[in-house]
Amino acid sequence: MRIRDLLAPESIMLQGVASDKTDVLNQMVELMAKSGKIADVDTYRKGVFAREEEGTTGVGEGIAIPHCKSSAVKAPGLAAMVVPDGVEFDALDGAPVHILFLIAAPDTKDNVHLDVLSKLSTLLMDESFTQSLIHASSVDEFLAIIDRAESKKDDMVKVETRPANGFQVLAVTACPTGIAHTYMAAEALEKKAAELGITIKVETRGSGGAKNVLTDEEIKAATTILVAADTKVPMDRFDGKKVIECKVADGINKAETLLSRAVKGDAPVYHAAEGAKKEAGSEKSGGAHSIYTHLMSGVSHMLPFVIGGGIMIALAFLIDTIMGYGATGGSAFGTCTPLSAFFKYAGGLAMGLMVPVLSGYIAYSIADRPGLAVGFTGGLLASSGNAIAAGYVWADGTTGFQKFIADFAFQGANGGNTVSGFLGGIVAGFLAGYIVLLLKKAFSKLPASLDGIKPTLIYPLLGILIISILMCFIFNPLIGLINTGLSNMLTGIANAGFITVLGLIVGAMMAIDMGGPINKAAYVFGTGMLATANQMMANGAAASDPAVQACYIAMASIMMGGMVPPVGIALACQFFPKKFNEAEKSSKVSNLIMGCSFITEGAIPFAAADPLHVIPCTLVGAGVAGFLSALFGCTLMAPHGGIFVFATVGHPLLYIVSWLVGSVITAVLLGIIKRDAK
């Protein structure tokens, strides 16, 4: 199917004007409706906006490709709009969008919208093509430009043949959504390879499945494999080959550099059994990045349980406070009324899944699906700890090897802490993943007829046995001691008055890379503190205990640090307008809303455009806000929510003061330090 077949003349607007993203999307839907391909416009409109909530379709370079697959679509179609003055669209590069294509696809199995997306994405990678469309003087000229470009592209595909001695470079591109960036990276690599005289084949792993898949013969003959991906791709097939791993964005923006390295063989040899080796100068590969990637896999799956369960528990505390049990509830605080007990029970169950899910998906990231069962089991052992031996009938009557198990795999009635918790869950996840990898290697020589029982019998049975031994005999007791020490340290910090320093540090960390590794490290620390507080209260500590309070104070400073940057930037746009361009100033309302909602990422476009001037301002403002929040003793029992969970904040008025002070400091510093916009 050709793009021209889907694009009706009445669904094209060349001189569009729009105030914002919502406005332009509504106009695009109306353009699509003119083609007669939409059975229910309202349903289709809701689908378009729902897709946009999953992640922006503004792919950068002034281009947006919104799309929707819906039963409200009678036949596949396209609508196009050119906005000469640009419209703010929350694009990935923060720049205004000048040309939009809206895709309508019926809810069928053929996924026609994905095929059209791949075509559009690759054509739009050609700047001369997009500029020609933007400057088209008529609808007929607009359609003719598309016809010529698509025909040229199709002709190029038809004449492409495999070289007799194989391709010099093979590549794989993939992004988390599997749509635009996957194909844009492939197009960029293919174009640059043609310019440099390099033969290349690119496998795209989009949401419609893998296309142009690399064959074993091609892999064997290739000099280097280039993997430009932000999501997991099958890597075992590249065992023994030189492999460059990088972000999918690098495939778009650094194609020449990557191809030059690939032709020179400037890459480490990949060994499937050991995982990717560290690559000098690579932003994607390397031991530290690999560990971070696996950890973030666990954290991203864990967060919904933390946020939902954490807010439920916070509401339980709020209910008891309203009912007058704030000072008298003691260790029963949160369960002093039937309603609060319900919230605490349900929220506690959700929070109880936090560590197993964390461990399970760390293991999944390392060893794929076989790692899940082993990882979940390790996480459950970490969160539950070793059982109390006094609860068993044999507790006082064991000898020999049985006594050894009783003494080391269990604990006495008054024994030490063996709940390794959040830290234990991280350890269990990595252990589980690498245990399964070792099992895969150990049983790789079994007959092919036994392949079916490996993931269902051998890996889970032996993996669960090994992780259970390691957690019960070694890591639970050891990390339990560390957790006890952490609790004592938090008490000491709170008693010594150093909790303010902690607030300063974690608040500033939230505002350095706004959603990057440093920001996530601080946030993961905060959720770990909440887990620690819940565990201490489960063991009988009161909510007023200094160590418990220190956990909640740390979480309050972390959320404070995340709320300051977008609000500070919004204030700066209002009071220092000369420092920002029109597109930046138009985002002040959205930044204010994101700041209020604890979405730090609203500050990313500003930091990316001018990091040397913006990041120091956000860092100082967020650090001061975190410091003040801790100084005032503000506490937070919920891991997310921004202003929507302020009712659960201890000393809420002082918390708001800290927030405003930090935001004003950020705004004033931006007014002083940042240069005037051109």
Dist CA 347 CA 311 (whole Å): 7
The number of beta carbons lying within 10 Å of the beta carbon of residue 653 is 11
The answer to whether 87 and 18 have CB atoms below 8 angstroms apart is yes
Please state, as a whole number, how many other Cβ atoms lie within 10 Å of the Cβ of residue 128. Answer: 9
Q: Which residues pair with 352 in a beta bridge?
A: none
Half-sphere exposure of residue 669: CA atoms within 13 angstroms, side-chain side: 21
Instruction: For residue 651, give every residue at least 6 positions away whose Cβ sits within 8 Å of its Cβ, in sequence order, or none.
Output: 632, 633, 634, 635
Q: What sign has the CA pseudo-torsion 345, 347, 350, 356?
A: negative
Which amino acid is residue 214, in one-letter code?
Answer: L
CA distances to 152, 583, 657 from 586, rounded to whole Å, are 39, 5, 26
CA distance 24 to 617: 33
Residue 322 backbone dihedrals phi, psi, to 5 degrees? -60, -35
Distance CA 101, CA 124 (A): 10
Which residues are catalytically annotated? 67, 175
Cα 521–Cα 527–Cα 530 angle in degrees, nearest 5: 145
Per-residue tokens: 225: 């494999």
- Classify strands 7-13 and 77-87 as parallel, antiparallel or unpaired: parallel
Residue 70 DSSP code: E
**Whose structure tokens read 């950890």?**
295
Contact status, residue 228 vs residue 250, Cβ threshold 8 Å? yes
**Non-local CB neighbours of 93 within 8 Å, separated by 6+ positions:** 60, 61, 605, 608
CA end-to-end span of the chain = 44
Q: Is 250 helix (H, G, I), strand (E, B) or coil?
A: helix
The token duo for 357 is: 């899910």
